[in-house]
Structure formats: structure tokens, C-alpha cells
Amino acid sequence: MTKVISGGVTAPKGFEAAGIEAGIKYANRKDMALIYSILPCIGAGTFTSNIVKAAPVKWDKKLIEESPFIQAVVVNTGIANAGTGAGGMKCAMDTAEEAAKLLGLPTEAVLVGSTGVIGPLLPMDRIKAGIAQLVQKKAATPEAGADAARAIMTTDTHPKEYAVQLEIGGVTVTLGAISKGSGMIHPNMCTMLSFVCTDAVISKETLTPLVKESVVDTYNMISVDGDTSTNDTFVVLANGAAGNPEILPGTKEYEAFKEALYMINEHQAKALAGDGEGATALVECQVIHSDTKENACLLAKSVISSSLTKAAIFGHDANWGRILCAMGYSGAMFDPDDLAIWIEANGEKILLCENGVGQDYSEEAATRVLSQKEIKIICDMRMGEAQATAWGCDLSYEYVRINGDYRS
């Protein structure tokens, strides 16, 4: 059984972290983070499918594929280091090199992550000064992990860390994560920045497909604004410090670890969606009884991505026609005359549409449901046994404000 514990990336054994103020963009807030493992880690990850890839994404992708081990991650916010050409690539490499020098590691053991404005080059003097601070302050404490979670935030309103524990062959194995999201969130491979650390003993060959499988139903099923970022990065680092018997495919331990990884990823993905820029509510769309998994995914993502549906939820308006409309242009085939749509929150469930036709529900009750912080939309396609869940948020004035003056 997987259980939730407190903490984040420093919860698993052998991981240290830090978060400091490097003054890259914001004043008086943490904007650089370090994750460090006292042991070499095997790494697996997925990265943005946007063909405009930020320099740190290119660097990390290469390392995850080719480097024999990973032992640290340096992250900055404020500047995305995307749209920066060869100069940006040099910044990413110099960042890794500086951290490697101070940590006594090969440069190829240091991942980098950046998030913020596309275009400007990183201020390398501040980045280097920041790295020195990070290396000095790194610690294995919960506080250090929390500092790192806070330091990777941009327009996020709260840090997102999470940790779970399970038993593998009688040995306690821990997984801990930090993530940031908020805007430019419509992941397609993985999400903005999310790092999971674990002390599990597991090989790269076993971990890599597990990671790719896990993002499909988690990070790839959320959307804030339909914009797939240039910097999406999801990395899992495993340092083996737990000393469990190695997790091998086809075993029940493998299934247990997979479930734990899914649990942490689902939690973080939902946290990213619910804290989308300007969001006042987390919106979950469950598509059930679809003919195929692929169609269920298309339908669920189309509903949570619809600007009109999102604005209606912000207005607490049970405008189910917009949900039906969004399913209609999703690309999935279905019979509009044969489905049902419910909304649900706080234990209250209301049937809005049956066989494609509006029902005689209480607008008052519907408004009550849509005023909650977590709202579920359930679409029963009545075609088969496939299902999918996607998460998003409402569209508020605040989203427009945040993105209307993001750079100023």
C-alpha cells in the first residue's frame, strides 16, 4: 500500500535540496533551486513535444539519453532560456559546468531547468553566484526541500511538493516531488517542470518506460490555456539509497512502484491544473463508457480546454451546451443523441443533459455545485468501456491580467 507522507524531494534517502534568491527577475523571492543526490542516480524523463525547445530541454534530453548517471538539477525561474539560439545553449552548459565544479561532479551529471520569459539570455553572473549559494545551503531537511519547491514557482500561487512511501521486499521506498505550472500549460509529453526523486533501486531500463507510461494519464491530461510550453520537463531520479531488492518488470513490486509513481504524478498534475493562472476552481472531466481510450482522452481534454466552458464555470453557469459543443469538435466520433452529462461537487451530483437533451435541473443547485473549488464534469458516452480523466481550471479575469502584463 502506498501512503502519503509529508515533504517533497528531500523525503527519499540521500537527496538534498536548496532554494535561494539569485535576483534573476523577481526581488525578494527565491528564484533558483538545486536538487542534489549524495549518490549517482539513474534518470528518466519526458520533455516538451513543442519543436521550439528551450536550451535546458535540449541539454537535459541529451543527458537523460546518454549520460551514465545524473546527480544534480539546477533550476532558475524568471527567464526560460528559450528562443536564445547558440548563446542560450552555452548558458545552459555553463550553468551545468559551474554546478558540477562546485559539487565535484562531471558536467554530464548535472541537469538544468529554466522557466520564465522566452527571449532573453540568462544573466550568468547572477546564475553563478546563485549556484555557489545553492551548493553551500543544500541540505537533506524538509525545509530545504520546501525552499526548492518555492524557488521553482513563477505565477504559481503556492508551492507543489508531495511525497509517498511504499514497501518493496520489506524495505521502505520513498518518492518525493516538486513541480511548478500555472501558465503555458497544455503538456504534450510532460508538464512544465516536475521532478520526482526516489531512493528506490531500479534500473534505467525499467524506469524509462514506467515514466513514459505514467505521464500519459497524468501530466498529459491537464491544460490551463492550451499552450504547450517550450520548456516542459519531467524527470525522475532514482539513487538506490533505500537498498530494496531491485524492482523488476512483471513483479508485484513493479506494479506497486508503478502505482506509487502514478499517485505522485496524478497529485502533482492536479495541483498544477488547480493552480492554473487565475484559476478559482480545479475542473475535472471524466469521460466514461467511450468506445476507445484515445477518444475518451480527446473528449476529456477538449472539454477542459474549451475557453467557453472555462468561462462559464468561472461564472458558475451550468452551460452544458458548451460542454456538448466541445465534445463535438474534439475529433472523436459519438452520437450526440445518446449521451449524458453530469456535474458533481461536494457530494452533490446533477444531471444536466440526457440523450443529448437538456434536463429540468435546478439552476440554483447547479450554481451551488459550480461554486465549489473542485468541480467534476462527467460525460457518459454510452458506447463502450473506455474512460479517461482530464484536469483543467476556469478562465478568469485574473488569467487575462497575469498574461496581459507578464513581462512588465
Active centre residues (catalytic): 191
Of 327, 324, 325, 316, which is closest to residue 375 (Cα–Cα)? 316
- In the complex with its own copies, which residue's Cβ is closer, 119 or 169? 119
At closest approach, how far in Å is the CB of 34 from its own copies? 26
Does position 56 interact with its own copies (CB under 8 A)? The reply is no
Answer positive or negative: Cα dihedral of 98, 101, 104, 110.
positive
Choose which of 46, 77, 84, 179 interacts with its own copies (CB under 8 A).
Answer: 84
Residues 371, 377, 378, 381, Cα dihedral to 10°: 140
Q: Is 51 in the site for its own copies (CB under 8 A)?
A: yes
Q: What is the DSSP letter of 108?
A: G
Number of residues written out for the chain:
408
Question: Which three three-digit cell numbers place residue 4?
Answer: 502519503
The residue within the footprint of its own copies, chosen from 327, 375, 377, 383 (CB under 8 A), is: 327
Task: CB nearer to its own copies: give 134 or 343.
Answer: 343
By CB under 8 A, residue 129 contacts its own copies = no
CB nearer its own copies, residue 85 or residue 347: 85
Contacts of 186 (CB under 8 A, 6+ apart): 222, 223, 224, 225, 226, 227, 228, 305
Nearer to its own copies, 50 or 95 (CB): 50
Of these, 3, 6, 87, 213, which contacts its own copies (CB under 8 A)? 87
Distance in Å, CB of 406 to its own copies, minimum:
7
Work out whether 225 is an interface residue with its own copies (CB under 8 A).
Answer: yes
Among 68, 245, 249, 328, binds its own copies (CB under 8 A): 328
Is 315 a binding residue for its own copies by CB under 8 A? The answer is: yes
* Closest separation in Å from C-beta 394 to its own copies: 9
DSSP state of 264: H
Q: Is 368 exposed, middle or buried (0-12, 13-18, 19+ CB in 10 A)?
A: middle
Cα→Cα distances 347→73, 228, 273, 350, Å: 42, 33, 21, 10
Contacts of 212 (CB under 8 A, 6+ apart): 44, 46
Residue 166 in the binding site for its own copies (CB under 8 A): no
Shortest distance, position 208 Cβ to its own copies, whole Å? 24
Strands (E), 243-318: 282-290
Please name every residue paired with 304 in a beta bridge, in sequence order, or none if there are none: none
Q: Which of 336, 346, 349, 362 binds its own copies (CB under 8 A)?
A: 336
- Spatial separation of the C-alpha atoms in residues 244 and 147, rounded to whole Å: 29
CA 130 to chain centre: 25
Q: Which of 307, 348, 373, 385 binds its own copies (CB under 8 A)?
A: 307
Q: Which stretch binds its own copies (CB under 8 A): 156-164, 241-249, 250-258, 306-314?
A: 306-314
397 binds its own copies (CB under 8 A): yes
Question: Taking CB under 8 A as the rule, does residue 68 contact its own copies?
Answer: no
Per CB under 8 A, residues contacting its own copies are 49-53, 80, 82-85, 87, 117-120, 183-184, 186, 188, 225-230, 305-308, 311-312, 314-315, 317, 319-322, 324-329, 333-334, 336-337, 353, 355-358, 395-397, 399-408
